[in-house]
Structure 1
């Protein structure tokens, strides 16, 4: 019999004839099929999917055999799913599918052949009943109540029995589909019986394995008992055995000075270890854990030196400059020295030294530890993205370890070291956690006395550790972490400071490493040339490399052609050692010019001169800004132009200059990006000079932010900018009045050679900078007459 009915695809299940069950229908097409069936004769086809992951199956995604079922009831659940109660009737072989808004197919419906009384099917059915009863009792997860089992045993129809057992068995979809597609009853009974017997054999094998495991466990208990007896016997005889190692570990726990709670946990873990089989993985984990508890310091501390005079001498010996950092360290040690022996003791500070590479942040931490007679340890945090590297791994597997903090404490062996957390701004976060958040517990003085490492799993006191952190920038440090730190900025060294560092620290080191002590010397002029023409950095690393290159090349020359006495390297000799100069030092143009002004800029490697040019040409009022300028610098130019337009009559500017002339402002070295507000008064001076044709003085350098009202606002980097002017030969400076306190940071020998004028308004700047009389514009030279083609000379 052939029928055309709606089709419902089934995921991960095969429904066989004679089964009544509920089917959840969630797909739109399937819901439509159910609605069509309930609106007609309530018949439909149920077919299993080959791949349950396919959301919109087609004919190729379905098996070719299914069942014809009758919809008994359909109920819509709150989530929109239809719960359909179906009764499977007959096997169906699907022939072809009919196009439509839902799956619909034509199929050949197969009916069961009548069973003869003498058929072997009766015998197979009896064996099936017995095997399935043993299958249910031996299965670990299949749960059928006694009523269902008795109902199956009472079933007289072998076809119903085979299909029902197949439906309840925990077989794969492919195995159940194979039973469904077997139309011959005897073959079907044999397949079902074969799979039941296969599973029963597997159940028996599992029981045998479990029995062997239990027997092995009993054997381990017996071995443990015998080992304990052997320990007791050997102890009576005075011999040494493995128990001596554990007893030694117990003594170490008693003598480690642990807090009582930690000691109690360690002894409990040791008792567990004694009951384990030595050499087992669990025993290895327990022994490693106890070794860490014993080796981490709990009460051992260095005898620190609390003498600020001694500390000042050490810091000055190792580092030039860094006044703020040294003062903060000395303040901390002064308080500790005054409160020594009192109950009130201040908490260790958490300093963050911020500055570009090569300024001595890491070496400063080492000097602090030496001056205080404390042990020093450096932890690099660059690239750390796993929280377990800070807090440690949990003891859930072999190979777990504590975090970097506890590892450092084990290495130094004392509870009061100086720990330098290097490059704290380079930490990042991913799916393994946020190490920056874990550092909160490490660095917060209010909670690091109970720091808990995941591996140790006991509180550990970090309050006596002197933490110092370093960073290149504060932008990438999380705000809650930065809030627990005291920020000390090291902006970089000036050229004068670099030269002194090279003379007092770097050159003696390089000469000694090259083996040229007493044979080679370098003049101050040569060092200054190396600083000015061969390095351009905030720190001194590259400077040290260049000096090392001079020493190495001199060593080679000495071995090839030895000389007597001391050889001196002077400024003219530097190119012979280092090659062509890499940088051009700033040299000021001191001749007054129209449309040009001398500014001062701050860079990560120090201050520099910033020449700004402006030109006015006939046009329509366009403003062109060039020189790789940032948005802030462009806005400063717009503010300067607006101010000049608002005060055109005051400075003798043409009334219509902004409509009849084009203005071009350019900052040389266009390949270098430039930004910041401090060029405001310089741009205003250059524009005013270009428009009025009044020359601007080039022997004066200036810096300051401008507003459209003409106010001059304070700027940063005063020290670096004034040193750059001094080195470039400029001795007159215009500075915002509010920057006057910053003049205290300028070295006295530099400040003596500078004439600093403090201003509050742009009008003050222009009165100083612009000449009294304008210079006439140059007259274009007419082109020379050219002879006409063919004319004689």
Structure 2
């Protein structure tokens, strides 16, 4: 009945201290109340969380400024006011429309100053009234009111006597069974003589919403009011009965760890009785979502089975959350949901050309795929692997492909992944189990045919948790991935519609079976001209937008961009170029923000000032020294030139190599020395020379590790030049592997090496004849100004590379 034990006790204590305030009025006193005239004009006090009934005494804590002013004025006057309950309890400053139209005339019995500084007033209801109209709002509400009378109940009728008796008994029972209501409340119930006041007193203390109390107040017929009170009392008795029953079921000697479990059991039992079981709610919600799901018969049967299992689980169990997550995943996965492909090939080509300069092989392959898909409709998606140096646009190409196809785009970085479960997921037997990242990304894409970029596939590592690259074999096999099995999902998922695009910097780090499953497309570096176009069309607009300056605030002439490319970056891609451009744009943003003077066009002096001294171009150093030959090398950031330096000194034929060389490169020095020694007479040398002169080969820079066989012919040429003191042909570079019998073998990274040669102003290049096919695959723009010599043997190399002329100050090697 009572909303809280504290409220009832505070009222009870007040009544005991002030006997004249006891609200146990008789029928005669009730008649006098009804005969009292209701003033035509009343100040109106809004009540937020309660309803005042005639005859009932309640304490009210006053907080609003208007209410405090009203109480002060009324207390000084006739202590009479009107009380109206608010329609909505959350409104802090109500208007006319926020108040009910029927309320109770109240008399202030006492005003109390509380210890916390607030004001509490004790008021007693007198008669009901109805608002005629509001006449004032300031400093508080005033209204013209009409007095209302309650229709008296006829106690001569057995039905009315039975209703009154039943209400009284039910109220006594609630007081007896509820632990929150003091037993002293029975004193009030037993001593109330007036039937009207009894129903008002009980209604006032019912634990129901303000709206329902207001409905009780508005009932003129006391018999109807009693019936409604009995209905509310019945609900409260049922709730008390259930609470007591539950309490008796779980009452036992339990330790601190068990306490929380049993309290949750109580809550669940209550919810079961009320038909609001959270487990059943979850099940119903899942069933509702499943009706709109597109999936096959196998997935549907598995879902229904798992959902039935969830309904039987204890929600407090550890495995319940795993089961819940599993069912939620089944519903979130786009089993048979495919996005519509864009078959406008011309538009797709425009998108690819807009976003990426060059990369013709990749663009052509994507357009081929689209063309076949348009004709055949159900083609399996290819597994593409883009490999090449950093910064050439491999990763960002995935977004352009997704836009061109009209598909969703997802990216999974594989760099540093060392756990097989990252790919295949965990088994559901583990707490905290989750699906692998492949399934997670498919869920995020919300379609079963996204463009899926597997970034840095060559950076996968293995550990004692398994080999992730082996787990990818199933994902990237077009003959298997239509039934990919994730350990968490445990159902076959069709990945054949996914367009996988892997990226890698070095194919050597990808295991053979995995590499075999992918279509390898080489993405080479850019020429200086291409980098300038990329900077103009993409990098500069992007950085200007990112740093908040205008297009007119900065401009990069072509010569300045060429200077940045050649003197401030040494790479195949454009990542370093973008950083230097960003540096210049940031400096211009600073000048604008500090109101400094500047010229929009960037000059060489600006580069020196902002970027610092340049490292200069990779220049060819000439052929004035014997034993110095220009070689071509491939690095992780593209091609580079290197110089093989050979020095001879009197000794016993010792061979020394320096320059932080790897084992393969050291073996090339031995091969070159032995071949030259074995074929000395072919080059006008004697075998005794090799026994009397020590050979020292050095490859600058010494701090940079170097390895690989491609410097073999360069080392041999350098040794031959040193022993014969003949000049090496001007503006010549070479790359190729040698054998002990003098054959020249092909090497890789040809395009990067050619770009490095062009940067160094090289005019002629010696290559293995088997590398000729690599040259034919390269765009003609890359080959401008270069002459190629294709050779099969080292004799051909030396005939091309060594001139008849000897160097100045040639040594007498004999």
- 1:771 pairs with one of 788, 803, 809: 803
Partner of 1:635: 667
CA distance in 2, matches of 1:241, 1:615: 85
Describe how 1:645-724 pairs up with structure 2 within 5 A: 645-654=677-686, 656-724=688-756
> Is it true that 1:250 corresponds to 2:250 in the alignment?
no
CA distance in 2, matches of 1:778, 1:451: 70
Cα distance change of structure 1 residues 258 and 551 upon mapping to structure 2, 3 Å threshold: same
- 2:561 pairs with one of 514, 527, 532: 527
CA distance in 2, matches of 1:684, 1:632: 15
Offset of residue 520 of structure 1: 0.6
Offset of residue 278 of structure 1: 6.5
Partner of 2:297: 260
> Is it true that 1:551 corresponds to 2:588 in the alignment?
no
Partner deviation per Cα, 1:285-317 (whole Å, 9 max, x = no partner): 544433322222222221111233322222221
> What is the DSSP-based 3-state SS (H/G/I as helix, E as strand, rest coil) of the residue aligned with 2:343?
coil
Describe how 1:459-608 pairs up with structure 2 within 5 A: 459-516=492-549, 517-561=551-595, 567-581=600-614, 583-608=615-640
CA distance in 1, matches of 2:725, 2:582: 52
Cα distance change of structure 1 residues 619 and 404 upon mapping to structure 2, 3 Å threshold: closer
> Is it true that 1:448 corresponds to 2:481 in the alignment?
yes
- 1:755 pairs with one of 787, 795, 798: 787
Cα distance change of structure 1 residues 768 and 395 upon mapping to structure 2, 3 Å threshold: closer
Cα distance change of structure 1 residues 412 and 623 upon mapping to structure 2, 3 Å threshold: closer
CA distance in 1, matches of 2:695, 2:279: 92
Describe how 1:152-231 pairs up with structure 2 within 5 A: 231=275
Q: Is the CA contact 2:651–2:691 (under 8 Å) kept in the aligned structure 1?
A: yes
Partner deviation per Cα, 1:702-760 (whole Å, 9 max, x = no partner): 33333343333323232222322222222233333332222224442442312223333
- 1:330 pairs with one of 351, 367, 373: 367
**Structure 1: tracts of 5 or more residues without a match:** 1-206, 235-239, 781-793
CA distance in 1, matches of 2:652, 2:314: 94
Offset of residue 422 of structure 1: 2.3
Q: Is the CA contact 1:492–1:605 (under 8 Å) kept in the aligned structure 2?
A: no
CA distance in 2, matches of 1:441, 1:229: 51
CA distance in 1, matches of 2:605, 2:752: 27
Partner of 1:620: 652
Bigger shift: 550-559 or 388-397? 388-397
Partner deviation per Cα, 1:67-99 (whole Å, 9 max, x = no partner): xxxxxxxxxxxxxxxxxxxxxxxxxxxxxxxxx
Cα distance change of structure 1 residues 479 and 563 upon mapping to structure 2, 3 Å threshold: same
Offset of residue 372 of structure 1: 0.6
Partner of 1:371: 404
> What is the DSSP-based 3-state SS (H/G/I as helix, E as strand, rest coil) of the residue aligned with 1:695?
strand
Partner of 1:736: 768
Offset of residue 558 of structure 1: 2.5
- 2:759 pairs with one of 718, 727, 730: 727
Q: Is the CA contact 1:598–1:698 (under 8 Å) kept in the aligned structure 2?
A: no
> What is the DSSP-based 3-state SS (H/G/I as helix, E as strand, rest coil) of the residue aligned with 1:753?
coil
Offset of residue 411 of structure 1: 1.8
Q: Is the CA contact 2:624–2:808 (under 8 Å) kept in the aligned structure 1?
A: no
Cα distance change of structure 1 residues 551 and 623 upon mapping to structure 2, 3 Å threshold: same
Cα distance change of structure 1 residues 368 and 221 upon mapping to structure 2, 3 Å threshold: same
Offset of residue 371 of structure 1: 0.8
Partner deviation per Cα, 1:387-406 (whole Å, 9 max, x = no partner): 33333334446643333223
> Is it true that 1:293 corresponds to 2:330 in the alignment?
yes
Describe how 1:70-85 pairs up with structure 2 within 5 A: none
> Is it true that 1:318 corresponds to 2:355 in the alignment?
yes
Q: Is the CA contact 1:629–1:675 (under 8 Å) kept in the aligned structure 2?
A: yes
Q: Is the CA contact 1:598–1:701 (under 8 Å) kept in the aligned structure 2?
A: yes
Q: Is the CA contact 1:273–1:283 (under 8 Å) kept in the aligned structure 2?
A: yes
Cα distance change of structure 1 residues 710 and 222 upon mapping to structure 2, 3 Å threshold: closer
Offset of residue 416 of structure 1: 1.4
Q: TM-score, normalised by structure 2?
A: 0.62
CA distance in 1, matches of 2:721, 2:596: 61
Q: Is the CA contact 1:694–1:772 (under 8 Å) kept in the aligned structure 2?
A: yes
Offset of residue 430 of structure 1: 4.0
Q: Is the CA contact 2:769–2:790 (under 8 Å) kept in the aligned structure 1?
A: yes
CA distance in 1, matches of 2:800, 2:465: 62
Partner deviation per Cα, 1:615-672 (whole Å, 9 max, x = no partner): 3333332333333333333333333333333443333224521223333333332332
Q: Is the CA contact 1:492–1:539 (under 8 Å) kept in the aligned structure 2?
A: yes
* Aligned positions, number: 554
Q: Is the CA contact 1:592–1:697 (under 8 Å) kept in the aligned structure 2?
A: no
Q: Is the CA contact 1:380–1:422 (under 8 Å) kept in the aligned structure 2?
A: yes
CA distance in 2, matches of 1:325, 1:647: 47
> What is the DSSP-based 3-state SS (H/G/I as helix, E as strand, rest coil) of the residue aligned with 1:320?
coil
Partner deviation per Cα, 1:239-263 (whole Å, 9 max, x = no partner): x999666434323212212322322
Offset of residue 281 of structure 1: 5.9
> What is the DSSP-based 3-state SS (H/G/I as helix, E as strand, rest coil) of the residue aligned with 1:567?
coil
Cα distance change of structure 1 residues 743 and 246 upon mapping to structure 2, 3 Å threshold: closer
Q: Is the CA contact 1:353–1:361 (under 8 Å) kept in the aligned structure 2?
A: yes
CA distance in 2, matches of 1:339, 1:284: 44
Partner deviation per Cα, 1:583-607 (whole Å, 9 max, x = no partner): 3421113354433333322222233
CA distance in 2, matches of 1:772, 1:298: 74
Partner of 2:394: 361
Offset of residue 374 of structure 1: 0.5
CA distance in 2, matches of 1:435, 1:703: 36
CA distance in 2, matches of 1:756, 1:387: 47
Q: Is the CA contact 1:693–1:776 (under 8 Å) kept in the aligned structure 2?
A: no
Cα distance change of structure 1 residues 699 and 418 upon mapping to structure 2, 3 Å threshold: closer
Partner deviation per Cα, 1:190-238 (whole Å, 9 max, x = no partner): xxxxxxxxxxxxxxxxx999xxx9xx99x989987x977865xx9xxxx
Offset of residue 414 of structure 1: 1.5
Offset of residue 319 of structure 1: 1.4
Cα distance change of structure 1 residues 648 and 514 upon mapping to structure 2, 3 Å threshold: same
Partner of 1:413: 446
Describe how 1:9-408 pairs up with structure 2 within 5 A: 231=275, 246-274=283-311, 284-340=321-377, 345-396=378-429, 399-408=432-441
Cα distance change of structure 1 residues 461 and 651 upon mapping to structure 2, 3 Å threshold: closer
> What is the DSSP-based 3-state SS (H/G/I as helix, E as strand, rest coil) of the residue aligned with 2:555?
strand
Offset of residue 440 of structure 1: 3.1
Partner of 1:112: none
CA distance in 2, matches of 1:646, 1:399: 68
Q: Is the CA contact 2:725–2:811 (under 8 Å) kept in the aligned structure 1?
A: no
Offset of residue 547 of structure 1: 0.8
Cα distance change of structure 1 residues 643 and 370 upon mapping to structure 2, 3 Å threshold: same
Cα distance change of structure 1 residues 422 and 694 upon mapping to structure 2, 3 Å threshold: closer
Offset of residue 333 of structure 1: 1.9
> What is the DSSP-based 3-state SS (H/G/I as helix, E as strand, rest coil) of the residue aligned with 1:670?
coil
Q: Is the CA contact 2:524–2:751 (under 8 Å) kept in the aligned structure 1?
A: no
CA distance in 2, matches of 1:309, 1:471: 29
> What is the DSSP-based 3-state SS (H/G/I as helix, E as strand, rest coil) of the residue aligned with 2:552?
coil
